Amino acid sequence: MAGDSKAVAEQRESPEPARIHVGTSGWAYKQWQPAFYPEKLAQTKYLQFYATQLNTVEVNYTFRHNLTEKTIENWLKQTPEHFQFVVKANQRITHIKRLKDVDESLKWFLNSVAPLASSGRLGPVLFQLPPNMKAVPEVLDAFLGLLPRTMRAAFEFPHQSWFGPEVEEILKKHGASLCIAESDEFVTPDLVTAPFVYYRFRKSEYPDAERAALLERVRKVLADGKEVFAFFKHEERPDGALWARELLNSAQHR
Domain boundaries, the chain: 3-10+46-252
Mean pLDDT (the chain) is: 92
| CA atoms of 55 and 243, how far apart (whole Å) | 14
In sign, the C-alpha dihedral spanning 67, 143, 145, 225 is: positive
* pLDDT one-digit tens code per residue, 164-206: 999 999 999 999 999 999 999 999 999 999 999 999 999 999 9
pTM score over 0.85: yes
Q: Give the confidence band of 2 by pLDDT, cuts at 50, 70, 90.
A: very low
Q: Give the confidence band of 141 by pLDDT, cuts at 50, 70, 90.
A: very high
Q: What is the second-level CATH architecture of the domain 3-10+46-252?
A: Alpha-Beta Barrel (3.20)
Q: Of 4-13, 37-46, 149-158, 207-216, which gets the smallest average pLDDT?
A: 4-13
| CA atoms of 26 and 232, how far apart (whole Å) | 10
| CA atoms of 101 and 99, how far apart (whole Å) | 7
| Whether the predicted pLDDT of 209 surpasses 60 | yes
- Tell me the average pLDDT across 121-148: 97
| CA atoms of 115 and 11, how far apart (whole Å) | 10
Phi, psi of 170 (to 5 degrees): -65, -45
Let me know if 108 is exposed, middle or buried by CB neighbors in 10 A (0-12, 13-18, 19+).
Answer: middle
Amino acid at 93: I
| CA atoms of 85 and 79, how far apart (whole Å) | 10
